[in-house]
Amino acid sequence: MSLEQDRSGESADPLDPFRQFVALERDVLVLSAAMFAFSLGFQMTNRYMAEYMSALGASAVVIGLFGSFGNIISAVYPYPGGAISDRIGSRYALTAFGLCSTVGFGIWLVAPAFADVSIGSTSLAVVLLFVGLLLAQAWKSFGLGATFAIVKQAVAPSQLAAGFASTETFRRTAFLIGPLLAAALFYPFGSSDGDILTAFQLILLVAVVFGVLGTLVQHVLYRPDEDGVGKEFEGVSQLVADLRAMPAELRPLLVGDTLVRFANGMVYVFFVIVVTRFLEVGLTLSVPAIGTVDLSPQSYFGVLLGIEMLVALLTMIPVAKAAERVGLKPVVALGFAVYAIFPILLINAPDNAAVLAALFAFSGLRFAGLPAHKALIVGPAEQGAGGRVTGAYYLLRNLIVIPSAALGGLLWDGVSNPLTGTEVFAGDPIVAFSLATGIGLLGTAYFLLFGKEFAAYQ
């Protein structure tokens, strides 16, 4: 199926990527393979970074700062990434971003070798994790505008949600396989810090291999039929102009989305810590012909992420198709509500493997609204400007979200007066997660009251 056929609005089927994959249509295959490779590497590693940092001796405050540093990158990267994509084309942009991500995974891999080198109150190993994040997040954040623009160019306006469901299906398939692969690599090891470091380095090695393959494949084989090249980036004045020109329909969405993401950012990096160190929940199964299988909390966390992604994959496509009938707004609101409620459910969960499996299955529903959410962002943009509109939106949202993880870390670990050393707040994970849910529900309510529907779905 050609891009022109998709654009006609006759057959933007979310299952088309799989059919095109089987048919070996080159551009679809190449883009899908690259998206799979980088999503696999980032998902395998990023969800375990708090555990990796804990094993290297980092405190909850430092882990929170790491999360906020990731928020800074998420805020800063998308706009120039979108501008670069619009200027030089998606092929060269995505190749450069892929190379940066691969190098970042490599820095994370070698970081424990520097654990004995002190830098102030921390180690060079922990500092290198921050340095590696600058590069590892490049394909995910720099490439955001490029991937949005590709979908914007490829499908009719009334089928944007279905178009994004197509790309999200490939990404989330990697998000399903990645954590399960991580769980398998953790399985032979125990829960000591040394075992955690060894297992995670194996995971990072796999991420490096996939990054190298993804970069080579997309650079050598990707030849888009239509790879729009926009005007040259004009600096800060262009950024200000793009922010002012943001479609009015996006403003209520931006406010609600920012509150929901701030809430999620407060606790997201600590999800693995809740499972592995707060609740300490593993899984013991009796498997016929194999015997007893004992999964450590680290390994079981990978299984939980796999359950989350399986639910996402099963619901994303039908929900995207439903959006064509009921509109984008209710679908987006559903995703926001799940984002908001999950933290308080998780932190108050019993140390029971089945309950956690049910909770992470529920969490998977938040991804059902992502294709509609992306369609609502890029839909009002003018053709050829999708990268910059997307970048401007995420720049505003993520700038505000920057301190969320640091705030969550302070609430988790406690706050002391820096002058006297007197404890101001003792720290309580339940307080951090409960406040996150309150902020998320506020954002959901705001969007329900003031959010606008995209005209193509009315």
Give the pLDDT mean for 408-420. 83
Q: Is the dihedral of CA 308, 309, 311, 317 positive or negative?
A: positive
- 447 vs 15, more confident: 447
Answer yes or no: is pLDDT of 107 > 50. yes
| pLDDT, position 97 | 83
CA dist 244 and 80 (Å) reads 17
At 94, the pLDDT band (50, 70, 90 cuts) reads: confident
Q: Which residues 6+ apart lie within 8 Å of 128 measured at CB?
A: 107, 108, 110, 111, 114
Residue 237 forms part of a structural domain: no
Judging by beta carbons within 10 Å of its beta carbon (0-12, 13-18, 19+), is residue 271 exposed, middle or buried?
buried
Average pLDDT of the chain?
81
| Count of C-beta atoms within a 10 Å radius of residue 322 | 16
Give the pLDDT mean for 359-385. 77
Tokens of 424: 């101001």
At 30, the pLDDT band (50, 70, 90 cuts) reads: low
| pLDDT, position 161 | 54
Answer yes or no: is pLDDT of 61 > 60. yes
DSSP letter, residue 158: G
Answer yes or no: is pLDDT of 271 > 70. yes
Q: Which domain, by its residues, includes 258?
A: 13-223+248-457
At 7, the pLDDT band (50, 70, 90 cuts) reads: very low
Answer yes or no: is pLDDT of 192 > 70. yes
- 169 vs 66, more confident: 66
Answer yes or no: is pLDDT of 223 > 70. no
| pLDDT, position 95 | 82
Answer yes or no: is pLDDT of 229 > 50. no
Q: What is the longest distance spanned by two Cα atoms in the chain?
A: 68
At 169, the pLDDT band (50, 70, 90 cuts) reads: low
Residue 7 forms part of a structural domain: no
CATH code, domain carrying 53: 1.20.1250.20
At 304, the pLDDT band (50, 70, 90 cuts) reads: very high
- 279 vs 422, more confident: 279
Tokens of 418: 């820096």
At 327, the pLDDT band (50, 70, 90 cuts) reads: confident
Give the pLDDT mean for 251-267. 94
| pLDDT, position 158 | 61
Whole-number percent of the chain with pLDDT over 90:
43
Amino acid at 317: I
Answer yes or no: is pLDDT of 66 > 80. yes
Residue 368 forms part of a structural domain: yes
Residue 6 forms part of a structural domain: no
Residue 235 forms part of a structural domain: no
Residue 239 forms part of a structural domain: no
- 176 vs 456, more confident: 176
pTM: 0.83
| pLDDT, position 303 | 95
Whole-number percent of the chain with pLDDT over 70:
74
Residues 328-351: pLDDT tens digits? 888 899 999 999 999 999 999 999
At 29, the pLDDT band (50, 70, 90 cuts) reads: low
Residue 148 forms part of a structural domain: yes
Give the pLDDT mean for 69-91. 74
CA dist 192 and 110 (Å) reads 19
Give the pLDDT mean for 192-212. 94
Answer yes or no: is pLDDT of 171 > 90. no
| pLDDT, position 364 | 93
Cα-based distances in Å from 233 to 165, 236, 242, 391, 392? 30, 9, 11, 13, 13
Number of structural domains the chain divides into: 1
| pLDDT, position 355 | 97
Residue 165 forms part of a structural domain: yes
- 327 vs 400, more confident: 400
Give the pLDDT mean for 175-198. 91
At 423, the pLDDT band (50, 70, 90 cuts) reads: confident
| pLDDT, position 14 | 47
- 448 vs 25, more confident: 448
| pLDDT, position 12 | 44
Tokens of 72: 């800074």
If we measure between CA atoms, which residue out of 305, 309, 289 comes closest to residue 297? 305
